[in-house]
Amino acid sequence: MTEELAFRGFEYAPAPESRSIVRLEDAYGLFVGGRWREPAETYTTISPASEEPLAQVGQAGPEDVGAAVAAAREAFAGQWSALRPAERAKYLYRIARLLQERAREFAVLESLNGGKPIKESRDVDLPLAAAHFFYYAGWADKLEYAFPNRRPRPIGVAGQIIPWNFPLLMLAWKIAPALAAGNTVVLKPAETTPLTALLFCDVLRQAELPRGVVNIVTGDGRTGAALVSHPDVDKIAFTGSTEVGKAIQRELAGTGKGLTLELGGKAANIVFDDAPLDQAVEGIVNGIFFNQGHVCCAGSRLLVQESIQQPLIDKLKRRLGTLRVGDPLDKNTDVGAINSAAQLQRIEELVAAGEQEGAEIYQPPCRLPEQGYWFAPTVFTNVAQSHRIAQEEIFGPVLSALTFRTPEEAVEKANNTAYGLSAGVWTEKGSRILWTAQRLRAGVVWANTFNRFDPTSPFGGYKESGFGREGGLHGLEPYLRFDGDATEWGG
Ligand code: NDP
């Protein structure tokens, strides 16, 4: 037995969050036109931490998607687009406040269905989701000021497809700006994490949002595909894999529909030799182990200056040994469950490729639960740029560490990727931060921090990480058309 395992003196006692605040239905329908619609087919959604079945959920087919789009069109033409902007804002404020009031319930359900630690869903996902509704509520009646001399108008019905890593937060990123701009929406949650989107329908009821303004259709990729190909959808907003994003872009080419894509990433977290090492270690850990690494902007490639490689990696390994992996509902858990069996398989395949290609693997001693989907925090050293683990998005708690000697080499290696979503820079010198940030091809560059989000700040990528921005003023633009623009969409 290793020393770490033998010494249990300061072990945390279990601190499970109670599940009793969540009332699960046995089965959920599709939320169409403000009513529950019976789906023709259903599937079982589970807890990835225990594989326990949680509920039956609808698998929406083309007819269901058609009904949702029709409801959204009717709500758009009938009242929502013509509503006084200050009235629209009222609904958004109500939704934001209700999310705050019911935050604990949503946080528990998010961790239950998705596997992320409760301290993250409680302290990050929920506050940020509410903040997005507050922020965009503020813009709803100020669009003329936001885009002076451009006469902004809503585009119509938005089809929105979101992934499983931040189910409620991605819903907020998509729905809040669309509604603030006067559009109506049909949203498809990810197959493995539909429950918080379905609970959100109850918030819409409480907020008395007019029927049909928001429609939620659950199901797998086929439901997403039906939404993309529906002729009466004016704009698609997609967050997910680059592969599916490319397929959607090909399908929409020439149709005149609007499109924004927020896809994968392989972000570099660059640590220069003058960086405060302990802080950098915390930033590296937050960058890759937050949400089990299921984060499109995760700092999955560590670029460390050669002269400090050894002390930094030693500190990082020690820190990894203190991460608590396990029950997502335990308030002390740092790393929760992998979201699905399929995702676990993908992580295992890429980690095996890393070992085969000659990188050196390190995993701290940690006991993984027997039931459910789990992967230990992992660091690879001796990684070459050509290795798959340095090129492909692993989307799991796996860090690939590479070294550099000069700032120029750091920038060149950081940009040596098909992606361009985010990056991190750790150094004491402000001038070096600016020099590096100007040369990085990434939508977001964090300096001496990582994974910081704010509704006022635009987020999005370059290259294969997609196009269009979410958040901030930029996030409103894809949901508006402007008088005089060449393309006239919808309504
Ligand atoms: P997908 O891109 O398949 O999933 C994203 C969303 O798109 C889900 O709602 C999915 O539905 C839906 N979808 C799937 N196929 C289609 C289609 N043909 N047309 C329209 N919508 C579709 O990602 P995966 O869940 O399969 O994850 C695979 C990899 O993608 C991960 O390992 C990770 O590397 C990356 N990824 C990146 C994300 C990001 O935030 N950038 C988020 C999620 C994954 P359903 O869930 O039912 O399949």
Name the phi and psi angles at 45, rounded to 5: -100, 145
Is residue 450 domain-resident? yes
> What is the best residue among 161, 217, 350 to mutate for testing ligand 1's pocket, by most ligand atoms within 8 Å of CB?
161
- CA-to-CA distance for 121 and 126, rounded, in angstroms? 6
What DSSP assignment string belongs to 262-289? Answer: E-----EEEE-TTS-HHHHHHHHHHHHH
- Is residue 201 annotated as a catalytic residue, yes or no? no
What is the mean pLDDT of the segment spanning 162-177?
A: 98
pLDDT of residue 489: 42
Q: What is the CATH number of the domain that holds 80?
A: 3.40.605.10
Is residue 311 domain-resident? yes
Question: Structural domain of residue 302, as residue ranges?
Answer: 268-454
Q: Which of 474, 480, 433 is nearest to 454 (CA)?
A: 474
What is the mean pLDDT of the segment spanning 358-384?
A: 97
305 and 375 share one domain: yes
Which tokens go with 444?
């977001």
For residue 292, what is the DSSP state? G
399 has a pLDDT exceeding 60: yes
Is residue 461 domain-resident? no
* Signed CA dihedral, 217, 200, 450, 47: sign only: negative
Query: Which value, to the nearest 10 degrees, does the dihedral of the CA atoms of residues 134, 136, 297, 214 take?
Result: 100
Is residue 17 domain-resident? no
pLDDT of residue 449: 97
- CA-to-CA distance for 291 and 346, rounded, in angstroms? 16
95 and 232 share one domain: yes
3 has a pLDDT exceeding 90: no
What is the mean pLDDT of the segment spanning 476-483?
A: 94
State the closest ligand 1 atom to the C-alpha of 247, by its place in the atom list counted from 1. Answer: 18
Pairing of strands 422-426, 360-362: unpaired
- CA-to-CA distance for 123 and 144, rounded, in angstroms? 34
What is the mean pLDDT of the segment spanning 353-362?
A: 98
210 and 278 share one domain: no
pLDDT of residue 483: 79
Measure 224 CA to ligand 1 centroid, in angstroms.
10
State the closest ligand 1 atom to the C-alpha of 193, by its place in the atom list counted from 1. Answer: 46
pLDDT of residue 442: 97
Is residue 24 domain-resident? no
Measure 336 CA to ligand 1 centroid, in angstroms.
20
State the closest ligand 1 atom to the C-alpha of 263, by its place in the atom list counted from 1. Answer: 41
pLDDT of residue 389: 98
Q: What are 311-347's pLDDT values in tens digits?
A: 999 999 999 999 999 999 999 999 999 999 999 999 9
Nearest residue CA, atom 22 of ligand 1?
221
282 and 214 share one domain: no
- CA-to-CA distance for 255 and 490, rounded, in angstroms? 12
Which of 17, 120, 191, 296 is labelled catalytic? 296
SS3 of residue 245 by DSSP: helix
- CA-to-CA distance for 76 and 83, rounded, in angstroms? 10
49 and 192 share one domain: yes
pLDDT of residue 222: 98
- Is residue 296 annotated as a catalytic residue, yes or no? yes
SS3 of residue 156 by DSSP: coil
Measure 5 CA to ligand 1 centroid, in angstroms.
38
Q: What is the CATH number of the domain that holds 409?
A: 3.40.309.10
Q: Which of 373, 361, 362, 366 is nearest to 336 (CA)?
A: 373
State the closest ligand 1 atom to the C-alpha of 392, by its place in the atom list counted from 1. Answer: 34
180 and 318 share one domain: no
pLDDT of residue 12: 85
pLDDT band at 10 (very low <50, low <70, confident <90, very high): confident
Q: How many domains does the chain have?
A: 2
484 has a pLDDT exceeding 80: no
93 and 214 share one domain: yes
- CA-to-CA distance for 181 and 203, rounded, in angstroms? 20
What is the mean pLDDT of the segment spanning 22-47?
A: 97
Is residue 299 domain-resident? yes
Q: What are 74-112's pLDDT values in tens digits?
A: 999 988 999 999 999 999 999 999 999 999 999 999 999
Measure 244 CA to ligand 1 centroid, in angstroms.
7
In the block, residue with structure tokens 């990480």: 465
Q: What are 200-227's pLDDT values in tens digits?
A: 999 999 999 999 999 999 999 999 999 9
56 and 84 share one domain: yes
pLDDT of residue 490: 39
379 and 434 share one domain: yes
CB-side neighbour CA atoms (13 Å) of 253: 6
Is residue 21 domain-resident? no
- CA-to-CA distance for 60 and 188, rounded, in angstroms? 9
SS3 of residue 440 by DSSP: coil
488 has a pLDDT exceeding 90: no
108 and 218 share one domain: yes
Q: What are 253-272's pLDDT values in tens digits?
A: 999 999 999 999 999 999 99
Alpha helix (H) residue ranges in 230-276 = 242-252
366 has a pLDDT exceeding 70: yes
What is the mean pLDDT of the segment spanning 192-207?
A: 98
480 has a pLDDT exceeding 90: yes
In the block, residue with structure tokens 């690494």: 293
What average pLDDT does the chain have? 95
1 has a pLDDT exceeding 90: no
Q: What would you report as the CA-atom Rg of the chain, rounded to the nearest whole angstrom?
A: 23
- CA-to-CA distance for 347 and 394, rounded, in angstroms? 6
Measure 279 CA to ligand 1 centroid, in angstroms.
33
239 and 309 share one domain: no
Measure 161 CA to ligand 1 centroid, in angstroms.
9
pLDDT of residue 491: 32
Percentage of the chain beyond pLDDT 90 is 94
What is the mean pLDDT of the segment spanning 124-143?
A: 98
Nearest residue CA, atom 38 of ligand 1?
240
State the closest ligand 1 atom to the C-alpha of 219, by its place in the atom list counted from 1. Answer: 47
Is residue 276 domain-resident? yes
The CA–CA distances, whole Å, from 60 to 34, 215, 221 equal 16, 12, 10
Which of 110, 262, 393, 464 is labelled catalytic? 262
CB-CB neighbours of 487 under 10 Å: 10
300 and 426 share one domain: yes
In the block, residue with structure tokens 């804002």: 89
Cβ-contact 459, 312 below 8 angstroms:
no
What is the mean pLDDT of the segment spanning 67-79?
A: 96
Q: Could you tell me the end-to-end alpha-carbon distance of the chain, in angstroms, rounded to an integer?
A: 68
Lining residues, ligand 1, CB within 6 Å: 161-165, 188, 190-191, 220-221, 224-225, 228, 239-241, 244, 247-248, 263-264, 296, 343, 346, 393, 395
Cβ-contact 223, 188 below 8 angstroms:
yes
Which residue type sits at 51?
E
